[in-house]
Chains A and B, each alone.
Chain A
Amino acid sequence: MSEVLETPVQAKKEAQEFEPKIVAFLCKWCSSAGSDLAGVSRLQYPPNAVPIQVMCSGSVSPLYILSAFNKGADGVLVSGCHPGDCHYLKGNFFARRRIYLVQKLLKFIGLEPDRFRMSWVSAAEGTKYAQVVADFVKDIKALGPQRKLKARN
């Protein structure tokens, strides 16, 4: 009897394995198109990243990032154009400096630095986007759920 019961319970346990929630802020001109390319190229990559299209990586306020963690994200990815390729000429340079500071601050208050990542993904780099997400998911799975900044309701 017990053997019969064990199988569905085990199956349920496996289904409940931790799947990280990742919020990805993607620049409309590069990374968003890059993620699109990954899709139309039928690349297999984890479905954990929820894309949010923004006009420029430079428009991502630190508040968006903190808020994503606060609303329960296990990881946040900000992705924009390679330096020099910004549609608005210098938005990604501003983003680079700002995000560096956010990352240092998150590290300073003791959040695992692996939970927050920035990447440069151009519109032609579908494979790179898939790789970035796959790596990110793998690293966050190792860390487990994020509880430090998550609001408890």
Chain B
Amino acid sequence: MVAIEDIRSRAKELLEGGMVRAVLGFRRSSAGLLAEPTFVVASEDVASLVWDATCVHNLALYLVNEKKRQKAERTPDTRPLAIIAKGCDSRAINVLLQENHVAREEVVILGVSCEGGGVVDTRKLADALRGKEAASAVCDDTGKVKVATASGEVTFPAADVLADRCLECTIAYPSVSDTMFGEKVDERGFTARFAAVKSIAAMSEQERSAFWDGHFERCIRCYACRAVCPMCYCDECVVDSTSFIVSPMTTAEEKANRIRWIQRSTTPADNAMYHMVRAMHLAGRCIDCAECERVCPVNIPLRLLNTSLEQEALEMFEYTPGMDPAQPSLISSFRDDDPNDFIR
């Protein structure tokens, strides 16, 4: 178990030395169980930093957002930003480094290993608690999660309350870090990797088709999955074009003939298109933080789409995203012995 004091003292050191402009971490939120992301700017505020099983957010997203914000600033603070990163967050940072979206000297990574634990899934926890409200959740070293409620502490086995991605995670330690807290744990012994995807892939074609139709039908196209994804940093998205400028001079013909790759209407077919385009754009980039699935207001299992491609990438191309910023990306590289037998 990582001691929060170690992280706080390192954060304090960085802030007092003026080596970073802020420390991006988690603090207790004013409402709800989950910790909330915070920028700690003053060294006396490091005491607000927390580290437990409720730190679910992928903070790499704020690295991307901060970069956008900084671009608009007239006199930006060019000191690096310190970021507290779990294994998955660090892989997201690695992908951003690989794509040259963020430079290595712009971040100080305080990597934290999840060791034998992970983060909670609020939906699973709500089911397990049956109406009781959780006040805190902490993983211990024995694969159990201690949840404090108003009527005392309850202990659950990890499989009941931890997020699916944590149960399937095999790389629970940071793949890139300046300071690492905690131990590298390789044997976690929860679920087999890609267990969820394999169970869907084992369905018959009709079942799978019906399964996804049922889910895509519900999509309300709120684009929360896109907003929360650290990899979805394009200025313009294929689903809502911002570069088509309509002026009084724009003719009706121009408006009518503009390319609409995907309609905005929430028909099942267009929803499926949107999610598949997103999955393709994340092929070889998604590091399975499952934030898209967590924020989905209608509970579409979006993680499955991305992990299915992650599985293909691993099994057919031996590619694991986010392990090495120097490796060429999945779809901008090839090998002579890539699968060829599916081609006529």
Distance of A101 Cα from B282 Cα, bound (Å): 11
Q: Residues of A within 8 Å of B, CB-based: how many?
A: 35
B240 interface residue per 8 A CB criterion:
no
Using A70-B262, A93-B338 as known contacts, say yes or no to A101 and B272 having CB atoms under 8 A apart: no
A55 interface residue per 8 A CB criterion:
no
B209's partner among A83, A98, A109 (CB-CB below 8 A) is A109
Majority-rule SS of B interface residues: helix
A94 interface residue per 8 A CB criterion:
yes
Q: Is the CB of B280 within 8 A of A117?
A: no
Question: Which residues does chain B contribute within 8 Å of A149, judged by CB atoms?
Answer: 269, 272-273
B283's partner among A83, A93, A101 (CB-CB below 8 A) is A101
Q: Is the CB of B316 within 8 A of A62?
A: no
Q: Residues of B within 8 Å of A, CB-based: how many?
A: 45
Minimum CB–CB distance from A107 to chain B (whole Å) comes to 8
Question: Which residues does chain A contribute within 8 Å of B280, judged by CB atoms?
Answer: 62-63, 66, 101-102, 105
A118 interface residue per 8 A CB criterion:
yes
Q: Is the CB of A111 within 8 A of B283?
A: no
Minimum CB–CB distance from A64 to chain B (whole Å) comes to 9
Distance of A90 Cα from B279 Cα, bound (Å): 24
Minimum CB–CB distance from A132 to chain B (whole Å) comes to 5
Minimum CB–CB distance from A46 to chain B (whole Å) comes to 16
Chain B residue nearest in CB terms to A121: B344
Q: Is the CB of A152 within 8 A of B272?
A: no
Chain B stretch 251-299: residues in CB contact (< 8 A) with chain A: 261-263, 267, 269-270, 272-273, 276-277, 279-280, 283
B150 interface residue per 8 A CB criterion:
no
Distance of A54 Cα from B316 Cα, bound (Å): 27
* B203-228 interface bits toward A, Cβ cutoff 8 Å, 1 = contact, 0 = none: 00111111111000000000000000
Question: Which residues does chain A contribute within 8 Å of B340, judged by CB atoms?
Answer: 83, 96
Majority-rule SS of A interface residues: helix
B192 interface residue per 8 A CB criterion:
no
Distance of A66 Cα from B197 Cα, bound (Å): 22
Distance of A132 Cα from B343 Cα, bound (Å): 11
Question: Which residues does chain A contribute within 8 Å of B339, judged by CB atoms?
Answer: 96, 100
A8 interface residue per 8 A CB criterion:
no
Using A66-B273, A118-B342 as known contacts, say yes or no to A151 and B331 having CB atoms under 8 A apart: no
Question: Which residues of A approach B to under 8 Å, CB–CB?
Answer: 62-63, 66-67, 70, 83, 90, 93-94, 96-98, 100-106, 108-112, 117-120, 132, 135, 148-152
List 12 additional A-B contacts (Cβ < 8 Å) besides A97-B331, A103-B342, A105-B305.
Answer: A62-B276, A62-B280, A70-B273, A94-B332, A96-B334, A100-B342, A101-B312, A101-B331, A110-B212, A148-B272, A151-B263, A151-B270
Question: Which residues of B approach A to under 8 Å, CB–CB?
Answer: 200-201, 205-213, 238, 261-263, 267, 269-270, 272-273, 276-277, 279-280, 283, 304-305, 308-309, 312-313, 316-317, 330-334, 336, 338-340, 342-344
26 A-B residue pairs with CB within 8 Å: A66-B276, A66-B280, A67-B261, A83-B336, A83-B340, A90-B334, A94-B332, A96-B338, A97-B317, A97-B338, A100-B312, A101-B309, A104-B309, A105-B305, A108-B305, A109-B208, A109-B272, A110-B207, A110-B208, A110-B212, A119-B344, A148-B272, A150-B269, A151-B263, A151-B269, A151-B270
